Amino acid sequence: MTALATTPAQPLSPISTPSSPNIARMLVPLDGMHSPGCAKAVDRSLSKLPGVTPVTNYAAGLLMLTFDRTQCPLPTIVTRLDKLGYRARFERAQLLDLPPEWAATREEEDQTLWSVGGAIALLRREPSLAIVLGGGVLLLAGWLVGTLGDSWGPARWVLLGMSAVCTSHETFFEAARTLRRFRLDVDLMMFAAAIGAASLGKGEEGALLLFLFGLGSVGEHIALGRARSAIDQLSAHAPQTAERLLPDGRTVTVPIGQIAPGDLLLVKPFSRIAADAVVHEGSSAVDQAMVTGESVPVTKEVGDTLFAGTMNTGGKLIIQATRVAGESTMARIQRAIEEAQTRRSSVQMLTEKVEAFYVPLVFVATAALIFLPPWLGSMARGVAFYRAMAFLTAASPCALAIGTPASMLCAIAAAARGGVLLKGGEALERLARLKAMAFDKTGTLTTGKLKVTDVIPAAGFTEAELLRVTSAIEQGSTHPLSDAVMHHIKEKGITPALATNVHQVAGQGIVGEVEGHNVSVGKGKLVAEDPTLAPALKRLGDDGRSLIGVVIDSRPAGLLALSDEPRPSTVGLKQKLAQAGVEHTYMLSGDHQGAVEAMARRCEIMHAEGQLLPEQKLKRLSEIRAERGPVGMVGDGVNDGPALAAADLGFAMGGSGSDVAIETADVVLMGGDLARIPWIITLARHARVVIAQNLVIALGTICIVAPLAALGHTPLGVAVLLHEGSTIVVVLSSLRLLKHHQ
């Protein structure tokens, strides 16, 4: 294999964008490789991730990583490497153009070794699979020995017995526990069928049943483990230690449990953020995909919020912790998902109720098939027993029992990976039935931050003069309008003038003296008499803007208009909701009607209703439900809690929402991205289709194969294959939900 002789001497930027801002190319030192096969294992595993092209050089101990951040965020790659047992030194990552000799190393790899290495790795991770496969080898040996003649009978039965022990090493104990509790379940049904086959001299068929049942159980465990790992990745990204900054500038490494709100922490490039925090110093791009589902890193500056477990992909940051580790956003998500997995959907509860009386019914029917035909003289006892065992196998409801919970688990996992927290299977079911959506305004459809949109000076004044004088009066105020004005002049690079004798005057707003002039800053009506400003005053007022009028020496000087801007994710939201099957949209807000109607036009919301008290929102939701059908409500504030609880499905804005809204809601949008709503509705409807398909497969197999087996048209071996095959099919069908991307 070609070794990389040297690495670049000068540190370079860790990320390059060769063809797109979403494409990252990195050279990463990789610790833990002990043979060329390790490099092959890394490449093979990472290549399975969407948009990832890895090339690992064992001799150099380096990983050349090219990946599309929109398809596979960096934390996902880190998690995959961690699971493989290798440590990627991202703090030493460097930019490197891909040389031809580096790429050529892939062509020299032995694909056979790849396959062997991959199989060995799987068996190491899943020892139960190795034991079951060993039982399969013993089954084959027993069958071959049986073909040698009757003299080899004892050896045949010993091998088949050993096979049965290996293939049922886990399921046997569960069946025994069930029997001790005087209960009947699927495991017990399988052992009854296997013992019955063996009693008829059909040892190979009985052992085959146990082998396929054991193999199916292990495969089911591995497959569902993929769904669970998608959820476990959330907690896996939370670091265990942090670098706390001391007053003298030194840092000390401490466990995250010792972090207290207010502590200053140092976050190096390509390190994970240890606690929910705000940026205290520095600026960097942070990959939040594991929390919010955002595919592209978000630039964070002083004052911006950070989530524990997200990754700093740019420069050094000093952050200030806002929560203890146990109350971080990541920890709350993990607890909520764990709780969600315990909440059963109505379909799941129905299948469990059916299974409770169905399994005893199958045993009764099996007993009837064993004893009735011989008693009636229509069938030999051995034939009746064989048919009954085939019926028992075919009628086992394994696929029926696993189909719905597997689909729910995969859907919840897919939602979590997409930045949406679903609180249980019932929420998923109700999502699929939504016909209308209602939204709060401020902080939900809007950013919740006022912004200066228009600066209109009167005749004889310039825009710069108007802003300079206005900011002189406003800079001492803590009102949100004042904050917006000060932010605007900072962006414009304007230095406020010096104001004196600033005080509040009823009917005028804030007044003061600026460079010898008397200045009043207040509501827009202060300049209503100016003929040049009156038309703009009316137009902007009708558009729902907040207005500031400025008067200098009793002369109208100008008008400032401010607005709470819509979230970028509102663009095209109406069309996306319609495509997801939600045709009707409403805005229910406590703001005045003019502002609500103006924002509804900008966000393309069909119905706008303002000046609503919390109890009035509840009434409107009931009316919408009666008129349109199931309705969802999206909100972020404390006052939205009752409406979120009253709606058929409540959505909370996780990034900026209050704790009350997040706790009350059934669905939490962790990044506050409204575009996730039509996506999650589509996922829910896809999950409903998959569940229906799984039920059809499970019930179809039972309803067709079981009667045929009872009539003698389905041999026991075929019944075994169809039964276990249907179970594997429904699990694989459920795993399709993990591939649901926006």
Residues belonging to the active site:
440
Whether 408 contacts 427, CB under 8 Å: no
How far apart are the C-alpha atoms of 736 and 227, rounded to whole Å? 10
How far apart are the C-alpha atoms of 27 and 98, rounded to whole Å? 9
**Residue with structure tokens 């699979």?**
129
Cα distances (Å, whole numbers) of residue 646 to 80, 378, 624, 636, 670: 41, 63, 12, 15, 21
User: Residue 709: CA atoms inside 13 Å, Cβ hemisphere, count?
Assistant: 32
How far apart are the C-alpha atoms of 316 and 410, rounded to whole Å? 37
Classify residue 229 as exposed, middle or buried by CB count within 10 Å of its CB (0-12, 13-18, 19+): middle
DSSP single-letter state for residue 257: G
Task: Give the torsion through C-alpha atoms of 569, 571, 577, 578, to 10 deg.
Answer: -170
Tell me the three-class secondary structure of 621-650, residue by residue: HHHHHHHHCCEEEEECCHHHHHHHHHCCEE
Task: Give the chain's largest Cα–Cα span.
Answer: 120
Please state, as a whole number, how many other Cβ atoms lie within 10 Å of the Cβ of residue 380: 11
Can you count the helices (H) and strands (E) in the chain? 25, 26
Return the percent helix, strand and coil in the chain, to nearest 5. Answer: 55, 20, 30
Whether 327 contacts 257, CB under 8 Å: no
Classify residue 21 as exposed, middle or buried by CB count within 10 Å of its CB (0-12, 13-18, 19+): exposed
